[in-house]
Amino acid sequence: MDILDRYIAEHSSGQTDALAWIERQTNIRTNHARMLSGAVQGRFLTMLTEMIRPAKALEIGTFTGYSAVCIASGLPEGGHLDTLEINDELEDLILEGFDRAGMADRITLRTGDAKETLQRLKADGAGPYDLVYIDANKREYCTYYELVFDMVRTGGYILADNVLWDGKVCLDPLPGDRQTREIARFNDMVRDDPRVESVILPVRDGLNIIRKKC
Ligand SMILES: C[S@@+](CC[C@H](N)C(=O)[O-])C[C@H]1O[C@@H](n2cnc3c(N)ncnc32)[C@H](O)[C@@H]1O
């Protein structure tokens, strides 16, 4: 953590005991702890959710449930979050975290490939969602966006994480790896989509905040 990140963390509200537990377990039980949103972005997600007041929210990419708990914590009374995760080995850890956070009744974990789960949710008439958080496979961001778009209500928000990809999306020439290329394509696609307005904020690895106008 650099000096500015430390200052920001020390001067923002801290995380709850349940979130600290999820963070600790993620470090102990997985090899990918850096994928977790963390305290500052987590608090930002909670606050955005409190501002948007979604009746229905959707997350694509649960990992160990940290951001899901942050979003669920900001939901209004009766609000609900569907969260999609492909890795079924994480299920026990995710569900225990939801339980410890007192959020189990506000969140439904749907295990499987999000692309298939989204098709199924659409066929079942799920939504409309007021808030969608995209944070799964970086090589599939455009696909998630296209699949989910019709399920978002007009005036609703799509948030996409990691859209600066460690600054690689700004390099010229663009690096050849598929993650960088897809995220750059996603940012271009959103900017050029007349149905939305958007702003990228440099929070952690970049958050694209997208509002569906029509
Ligand atoms: C960056 S992590 C999510 C972090 C989480 N949102 C947080 O902040 O705590 C990305 C997650 O997406 C999952 N994932 C990748 N491809 C997926 C897919 N096609 N469908 C559902 N989940 C997927 C990965 O298994 C991983 O757990």
Ligand 1 pocket test, candidate residues 87, 115, 134, 203, most atoms within 8 A of CB: 87
Give me ligand 1 centre to Cα 47, in Å: 22
Ligand 1 atom nearest to 115, measured from its CA: 19
Ligand 1 atom nearest to 41, measured from its CA: 8
Give me ligand 1 centre to Cα 96, in Å: 18
> Is residue 208 a contact partner of residue 214, using CB atoms and an 8 Å limit?
no
Residue 82 CB less than 6 A away from ligand 1: no
Angle between helices 114-123 and 141-149 in degrees, nearest 10: 10
Sketch the domain layout of the chain as residue ranges. Answer: 3-212
Looking at domain 3-212, its CATH class is alpha beta
pLDDT in tens, the chain (214 residues): 789 999 999 999 999 999 999 999 999 999 999 999 899 999 999 999 999 999 999 999 999 999 999 999 999 999 999 999 999 999 999 999 999 999 999 999 999 999 999 999 999 999 999 999 999 999 999 999 999 999 999 999 999 999 999 999 999 999 999 999 999 999 999 999 999 999 999 999 999 999 999 8
Question: Whose structure tokens read 């989204």?
Answer: 118
Q: What are the angstrom distances between the C-alpha of 158 and each of 76, 104, 116, 126, 155? A: 18, 23, 19, 16, 10
What does the block give as tokens for 113?
């490939």
Nearest-5° angle of CA 111, CA 185, CA 142?
Answer: 25
3-class secondary structure, 146? helix
Ligand 1 atom nearest to 38, measured from its CA: 8
